[in-house]
Amino acid sequence: MRITFVKKILANGQPCAKCADVERRLTASGQMARIDRVVVADERDPQSEGMRLAARYAIAAAPFFVVEDGDATTIHTVYLKFSKEIFGRRAEAVAEAQEMLRANPDLDLI
Amino acid sequence: MAEPLARSWAEPEATPEEQALAVLEDAFAEFDRIAISFSGAEDVVLIDLAARIRAGVPVFSLDTGRLHPQTHRFLETVRKHYGIAIEALSPDADEVAKLVRDKGLFSFYRDGHGECCAIRKIQPLRRKLMRLDAWITGQRADQSVTRSDLPVAQDDLAFSTAQHPIVKFNPLAAWTGTDVWDYIRRREVPYNPLHDQGFRSIGCEPCTRPVGPHQHEREGRWWWENAADKECGLHAQNVAAPIRRADLPVQRIPTRMTGR
**Interval B154-193: pLDDT, tens:** 888 889 887 899 999 999 999 999 999 999 999 999 999 9
What local confidence, expressed as pLDDT, does residue B9 receive? 54
* Cβ(B136)–Cβ(B24) below 8 Å: yes
Higher-confidence residue of B41 and B147: namely B41
What local confidence, expressed as pLDDT, does residue A90 receive? 66
Cα dist. B80→B40, B74, B83, B84 in Å?
14, 10, 5, 7
B chain contacts of residue A59, beta-carbon cutoff 8 Å? 234
What local confidence, expressed as pLDDT, does residue A86 receive? 87
Nearest-CA neighbor of B43 among B26, B67, B59, B27? B59
* Cβ(B51)–Cβ(B57) below 8 Å: yes
**Interval B95-124: pLDDT, tens:** 999 999 999 999 999 999 999 999 999 999
Split at pLDDT 50, 70, 90, the class of B239 is very low
**Interval B195-215: pLDDT, tens:** 999 998 899 999 999 998 888
pLDDT surpasses 70 at B7: no
Q: Pick the residue from chain A with its C-alpha nearest to B250.
A: A74
Higher-confidence residue of A30 and B184: namely B184
Distance from CA of B240 to the nearest CA of A (A): 5
Q: What is the mean pLDDT of residues A29-45?
A: 92
Q: Which residues pair with A68 in a beta bridge?
A: A2, A73
**Interval B130-156: pLDDT, tens:** 999 999 999 998 886 666 678 899 888
Rg of chain B in Å (alpha carbons):
18
* Cβ(B74)–Cβ(B199) below 8 Å: no
What local confidence, expressed as pLDDT, does residue B148 receive? 66
Q: What is the mean pLDDT of residues B222-250?
A: 48
Distance from CA of B4 to the nearest CA of A (A): 30
Q: 3-state DSSP call for residue A52?
A: helix
Nearest-CA neighbor of A29 among A75, A78, A91? A91
Choose among A43, A94, A102: nearest Cβ to B119: A94
Split at pLDDT 50, 70, 90, the class of B245 is very low
pTM: 0.74
Q: Pick the residue from chain B with its C-alpha nearest to A68.
A: B247
Pairing of strands B86-89, B153-155: unpaired
A chain contacts of residue B233, beta-carbon cutoff 8 Å? 60-61, 105
B chain contacts of residue A19, beta-carbon cutoff 8 Å? 232
What local confidence, expressed as pLDDT, does residue B247 receive? 33
Q: Pick the residue from chain A with its C-alpha nearest to B208.
A: A109
Higher-confidence residue of B253 and A97: namely A97
> Active-site residue numbers of B?
232
Query: Helices B69-82 and B44-53: crossing angle, nearest 10°?
Result: 10
The answer to whether the Cβ–Cβ distance between A11 and B235 falls below 8 Å is yes
Q: What is the mean pLDDT of residues B10-22?
A: 83
Distance from CA of A23 to the nearest CA of B (A): 14
B chain contacts of residue A60, beta-carbon cutoff 8 Å? 146, 233-234, 236, 239
- What's the mean pLDDT when you consider all of chain A? 88
What local confidence, expressed as pLDDT, does residue B60 receive? 97
What local confidence, expressed as pLDDT, does residue A71 receive? 85
